[in-house]
Amino acid sequence: MSDFEREFVMVKPDGVKRRLVGNIISRLEQVGLRVVAMKMLQLTKGMAEKHYVIHKGKPFYDGLIKFISSGPVVAMIIEGKDAVKRVRKIAGATNPMDAEAGTIRGDLAMVIGRNVVHAADSPENAKIEYSIYFKESEIVSYEMINEDWVYE
């Protein structure tokens, strides 16, 4: 569909080490979103700094850089109608204590510093972020077999 947008999602080191990757992907796919690119990688300090440049100078910045580069992550591009808004709703509030039950963070996380997943906050930021991790040639286009039953 031409009105699909792309969202950047990253399962953070705590989510990977706790073996929550499949659960998180499943939650995204179950609503009708599709994974169009995915890879597991270890972020370098430089990649982490590029990703979180908007937080540079904030009190939590150094800890965030250290944490996000402390273990493997799973980076993904998720595609679908209103993908950014939908993924952020599924992810839940940044602080798990404020996240609704049924969301990734509400169900799987306890504290803001270990909130399992990152999701870009706009289509524009999603593109900036996923461009750090993926080349255009690594993004796969396909149609879901049940797409007619997901979208009107």
pLDDT in tens, 14-39: 999 999 999 999 999 999 999 999 99
Domains contained in the chain, CATH given: 4-136 (3.30.70.141)
pLDDT in tens, 37-91: 999 999 999 999 999 999 999 999 999 999 999 999 999 999 999 999 999 999 9
pTM above 0.85, yes or no: yes
Q: SS in 3 state form for 116-152?
A: CEEECCCHHHHHHHHHHHCCHHHCCCCCCCCHHHHCC
pLDDT in tens, 88-127: 999 999 999 999 999 999 999 999 999 999 999 999 999 9
| 38: number of Cβ within 10 Å | 18
One of 103, 118, 119, 126 is an active-site residue; which one? 118
**Catalytic annotation present for 55:** no
Strand-pairing partners, residue 72, are 42
Q: In what order do the strands lie in the sheet with 4-11?
A: 34-42, 72-81, 4-11, 117-119
Residue 5: predicted pLDDT:
96
